[in-house]
Chain A
Amino acid sequence: DAGITQSPRYKITETGRQVTLMCHQTWSHSYMFWYRQDLGHGLRLIYYSAAADITDKGEVPDGYVVSRSKTENFPLTLESATRSQTSVYFCASSDGRTTNEKLFFGSGTQLSVL
């Protein structure tokens, strides 16, 4: 049972480069999310998606782009990476059927922008 997987696990890139972080879930959950985790800030929502072809901004969307052409995939792209985007990125999914909307998280991608 694969669940939710993120790739790559670790990524080092340079300022100005485009980077795409992948997220794949096998549960057919309708909702998917991208969070970034930084010391002193906890988890902050970047973008989320309620279904295929439906995406919306979260708390910190600037500098990021998402797409959701298929229910199971929700890639996050940094179009021109900056040092401030060095962070640990978590993808999550939820079936959206209960009010608490339990989130299932991937294991994270640690991104360093040099």
Chain B
Amino acid sequence: DVKVTQSSRYLVKRTGEKVFLECVQDMDHENMFWYRQDPGLGLRLIYFSYDVKMKEKGDIPEGYSVSREKKERFSLILESASTNQTSMYLCASSTLTGSSEQFFGPGTRLTVL
């Protein structure tokens, strides 16, 4: 079974803390994505990567950075967490083929106090 895993299901952090969210996929996919999901706003793309060490900004990159040192691992970093970054964070992966569906992890619900 194909699998995308995320390091935490629930996370509580304090304002100003540095936060790391990790995502690992075992499908040898080239593309990896980080989204945040908020009620009424659907999925918004933060960053994506199409290869190791390659990254591109999505729709809402401000306040976030990413790292992809290995093909299977894509990390999202909140340099200084703020309360408006309280959200559900979803990682996904896919092949480079345009017709490929995305495979999603279970999500991390982050609360910043």
A binds B: no
Residues of A within 8 A of B (CB): none
